[in-house]
Amino acid sequence: MENKAATSEETAFDEIKSFFDSAPPLKDGDGIVKKLNGFLEKNSLPTRIGSKRVVCVTSGGTTVPLEQRCVRFIDNFSSGHRGSTSTEYFLKAGYSVIFLYRRGSYQPYCTTLPDDPLLECFEITNESDVQVHPSHSDAVKKAIGEHQAAVKGQNLLKLPYTTIFEYLQILQLIATSMKTLGPYAMYYLAAAVSDFYVPWESMAIHKIQSASGPLDMRLAQVPKMLLVLRNDWAPKAFFISFKLETDMDILLKKAGNALRKYKMHAVVANELLTRKEEVTVVTTDGNISVRRDKAKGVTDVERPLIELLVEKHSAHIEDSRNQQ
């Protein structure tokens, strides 16, 4: 049994190595490492109760390019609402956040602003100056004030990605930098990550032409990065992954499988249509349903979800200390 597990981990390791070896080089990898190290230096100062907690929140969906000079791509559904709202609650709870987000997806403190904030929140006065429209004034002040406080206090680092290649390459850099935080590090993996991709070396260079008729395409499986992230890149960290399904009948079973297979501390199971109302936190101690309860003034499901996860992270840190 143990041998079988070791073999599947070795296979995953080999697949991941070949995924990274064949991926296009990450643009400005050195710049990203510099930002990460600067951020973590500021945030790994010891506190009265141990070390500062840092969470890596992933948000938005990865793309899978079909051409190297990409005109077309396959996308994964995620607006980034879950990741950005959760980031706000983690910051409020005293965490520092590395926000790995899909370019163009929702940003922390902006989810309650209108779709086109620049055009809808501002107006030109009779004196040809620009001012915030009074009806949006409170929302804009709150968003700018809270965002500035997080960035100035160096508690929020935002790193953008677009493709599945960039996402996994940056996640590896984050894990390498965060390793020294041990149990004080948390991973909250809300991004919707492609299961299939076109390997770079077998990808068309130029725009695929339609003249030759229908397109047949074989997609390779994205290696299961969670296994290596959990076991090798960040073995002491606290891990939360997400399971998204559209069929309620299989959701909890699949979340339970992911919990065991990847040794997650919790898997947040959500169904596409009800994801903003209710999620189920699946753990080895049982399932906990978390709801947005308007009657109790709870405006989103992320607030009680983050409260619960912060509590569980505290227990994880306590356990790790007792084992030392």
Enumerate binding residues for ligand 9Z3 (CB under 6 A). 78-82, 189-190, 192-193, 241-244, 270, 275
* Closest CB 77 distance from ligand 9Z3, rounded Å: 6
How far apart are the C-alpha atoms of 200 and 165, rounded to whole Å?
9
Q: Return the ∠ at Cα 102 (arms to 227 and 79), rounded to 5°.
A: 100
Cβ at position 191, least distance to ligand 9Z3 in Å: 6
Distances (CA, A) of 305 to 125, 132, 258, 265: 43, 33, 19, 14
- Is 228:204 a contact under the CB 8 Å cutoff? no
User: Which DSSP letter does residue 67 get?
Assistant: B
Distances in Å between the alpha carbon of 66 and those of 101, 103, 186? 21, 18, 33
The encoded tokens of residue 167 equal: 């996402």
Name, in order, each residue with C-beta under 8 angstroms of 297's C-beta and a sequence gap of 6 or more: none
Shortest approach of ligand 9Z3 to residue 41 CB, angstroms? 30
Residue closer to ligand 9Z3, measured from CB, 80 or 304 = 80
- C-alpha closest to that of 64 among 236, 196, 252, 155: 196
CB of 244 to ligand 9Z3, least distance (A): 3
What's the closest the beta carbon of residue 187 comes to ligand 9Z3, in angstroms? 11
* Whole-angstrom distance, CA of residue 8 vs CA of residue 141: 52
Residue among 77 and 216 whose Cβ is closer to ligand 9Z3: 77
Q: Which is nearer to ligand 9Z3, 198 or 225 (CB)?
A: 225
Task: To the nearest 10°, report the CA torsion of 283, 286, 292, 297.
Answer: -110
Q: How far is CA 76 from the centre of its chain?
A: 13
CB closer to ligand 9Z3, 80 vs 183: 80
Minimum CB distance to ligand 9Z3, residue 129 (Å) = 36
Kindly tell me which of 177 and 270 has the beta carbon lying closer to ligand 9Z3.
270
User: Dihedral angle at the C-alpha atoms of 57, 185, 293, 102, nearest 10 degrees?
Assistant: 0
Residue 320: partners with Cβ closer than 8 Å, 6 or more residues away: 182, 183, 236
CB of 80 to ligand 9Z3, least distance (A): 5
Crossing angle of the two packed helices 164-178 and 2-22, in degrees rounded to 10: 120
Pick 54 or 171: Cβ nearer ligand 9Z3: 171
Task: Write down the least CB distance from residue 279 to ligand 9Z3, Å.
Answer: 7
**Which is nearer to ligand 9Z3, 104 or 153 (by Cβ)?**
104
- For ligand 9Z3, the closer of residues 97 and 244 by Cβ is 244
